[in-house]
Amino acid sequence: MEFSETVRRRRMVRNYLPDPVPADVLDRVLDRARRAPSAGFTQAQSFVAVTGADRRAEIARLAHEDEYVAAGFDPWLSLAPVHVIICTSEAAYRARYSEPDKAGAADAQDWPVPYWYVDAGASLMLLLLAAVDEGLAAGFAGSHSLAGIQELLGIPPEVMPIGLVTLGYPAPDRRSGSLARGWKPIEGVVHRERW
């Protein structure tokens, strides 16, 4: 698929067919997500891929899916055949920037922007686009229960889950009300030569 077409087709999908995602397809999507750039090539982005129905149901419970369904939405998380929890690690960046080739840089540990979140976002985007490229759909769910997900999945304390991506073959879904905002015109977001 042309890259521009992949970008155009991508949108957050919150309802899926029950068909499982073949293991080789999931492996390719994850392999692409791990190719995201990372500051100092720290590569602290990591992923927990969950396909077991019981565990997905528990994640859905932690994310208060029942309240979401009561509000009229599809049972998004529990029915999605795959959850990928995207993780990052501030500790890994601090360790990397203590290595000899980085430690000499002034303020090496004083980032004006937390790169661990920047790089996790880059992985998130690659994951979403790789899914479309494989004929899948994907959706990102933030969660207020990340600590619960961390415990459930045995994610070590120095690693931080930032949210989860659902993957599967798309079913008709109810789009986010936020989309009514429409895309801002390009002049509203791109400034040329100066703001």
User: Which residues bind to ligand FMN, rule: CB under 6 A?
Assistant: 11-12, 14, 140-142, 176, 178-179
Q: What share of the chain is helix, strand, coil (3-state, %, to 5)?
A: 45, 15, 40
Rounded to a whole number of angstroms, the minimum distance from the CB of residue 126 to ligand FMN is: 14
Give the long-range contacts of residues 148-152, CB within 8 A, separation 24 or more. 148/62, 149/59, 149/62, 149/85, 152/55, 152/58, 152/59, 152/62
Quick one: 96 or 120, whose CB is closer to ligand FMN?
120
| Bridge partners, residue 88, by sequence | 160
Quick one: 11 or 32, whose CB is closer to ligand FMN?
11
Rounded to a whole number of angstroms, the minimum distance from the CB of residue 81 to ligand FMN is: 18
Quick one: 90 or 108, whose CB is closer to ligand FMN?
90
Quick one: 87 or 96, whose CB is closer to ligand FMN?
87
Burial of 145 (0-12, 13-18, 19+ CB in 10 A): middle
Q: Which two tokens stand for residue 194?
A: 């100066």
**40 within 8 A of 102, measured Cβ to Cβ:** yes
Rounded to a whole number of angstroms, the minimum distance from the CB of residue 72 to ligand FMN is: 13
Side chain identity, residue 131:
A
Rounded to a whole number of angstroms, the minimum distance from the CB of residue 165 to ligand FMN is: 10
Rounded to a whole number of angstroms, the minimum distance from the CB of residue 48 to ligand FMN is: 18
Ranked by CB distance to ligand FMN, the top (closest) residue is 11
Q: What is the biggest distance separating any 2 CA atoms in the chain, rounded to whole angstroms? A: 55
Quick one: 77 or 97, whose CB is closer to ligand FMN?
77
